[in-house]
């Protein structure tokens, strides 16, 4: 398995799509680097939201950013063990 992609800060836009891409990358990177982290989905969600908290969309619309993140975890099955 290769390394997950690094975020490209020059490609950050103040919209939900840009946020979702950064969130997905951060979630997958964490899963890759710490596969046996032992966090609940909600705890990991909080951790990743904190990590991407400087994204323009997270700063301008934090509640909607959380909703997008929760949707992404359900849509992609990211909360399941070893889902990448």
When pLDDT is averaged across residues 45-67 and rounded to a whole number, the result is 98
Range of the domain at 71: 13-75
User: Which pLDDT tens digit goes with each residue over 65-80?
Assistant: 999 999 999 988 877 6
When pLDDT is averaged across residues 18-42 and rounded to a whole number, the result is 94
Q: Answer yes or no: is 71 within a domain.
A: yes
How many domains does the structure of the chain reveal? 1
59 vs 38: CA distance, rounded Å = 28
User: Contacts for 1-6 with beta carbons within 8 Å, 24 or more apart?
Assistant: 1/32, 3/32, 4/28, 4/29, 4/32, 4/84, 5/29
Q: Name the percent of the chain lying above pLDDT 90.
A: 70
Q: Give the torsion sign (CA, 32, 37, 41, 46).
A: negative
Q: Answer yes or no: is 23 within a domain.
A: yes
Q: Answer yes or no: is 2 within a domain.
A: no
Q: Answer yes or no: is 6 within a domain.
A: no
Q: Answer yes or no: is 39 within a domain.
A: yes
Q: Answer yes or no: is 5 within a domain.
A: no
Q: What is the mean pLDDT of the chain?
A: 87
pLDDT band, very low/low/confident/very high, at 53 (cuts 50, 70, 90): very high
Specify whether the CB–CB gap between 39 and 47 falls below 8 A.
yes
Q: Answer yes or no: is 63 within a domain.
A: yes
């Amino acid at each position: 398995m290769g390394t997950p992609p690094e975020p490209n800060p020059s490609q950050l836009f103040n919209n939900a799509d840009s946020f979702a891409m950064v969130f997905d990358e951060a979630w997958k990177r964490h899963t890759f680097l710490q596969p046996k982290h032992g966090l609940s989905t909600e705890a990991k969600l909080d951790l990743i939201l904190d990590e991407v908290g400087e994204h323009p969309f997270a700063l301008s619309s934090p509640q909607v950013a959380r909703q997008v993140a929760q949707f992404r975890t359900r849509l992609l099955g990211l909360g399941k063990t070893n889902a990448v």
